[in-house]
Amino acid sequence: MSVHGDMKLTDSKGKMMYLARGKMLSVTDKVEVVNGQGDKIGTIVKKPISVHNRHTVTLKDGTKFDVTNQWMHVIQDVFSIEELGWKIKGDILGLSFDIYDQEKRMIAHMGVRALSLHDKHSLDIYQKDQEEKVVVVIFALLHMMADREKNKK
Which pLDDT tens digit goes with each residue over 20-57? 988 644 555 789 999 999 999 999 998 766 555 778 99
CA-wise closest residue to 50 among 26, 64, 69? 69
**CA gyration radius for the chain?**
15
Confidence band of 111 (pLDDT split at 50, 70, 90): confident
User: Pick the residue with more confidence: 149 or 108?
Assistant: 108
Distances (CA, A) of 146 to 56, 82, 104, 142: 16, 22, 28, 6
pTM above 0.75, yes or no: yes
Contact 138, 123 (CB under 8 A): yes
Which pLDDT tens digit goes with each residue over 58-109? 999 999 999 887 655 445 577 889 999 999 988 877 788 999 999 999 999 9
CA 62 to chain CA mean position, Å: 18
CA-wise closest residue to 18 among 29, 26, 7? 7
- Residue 151 has a pLDDT of 62
d(CA 43, CA 48): 15
- Residue 96 has a pLDDT of 87
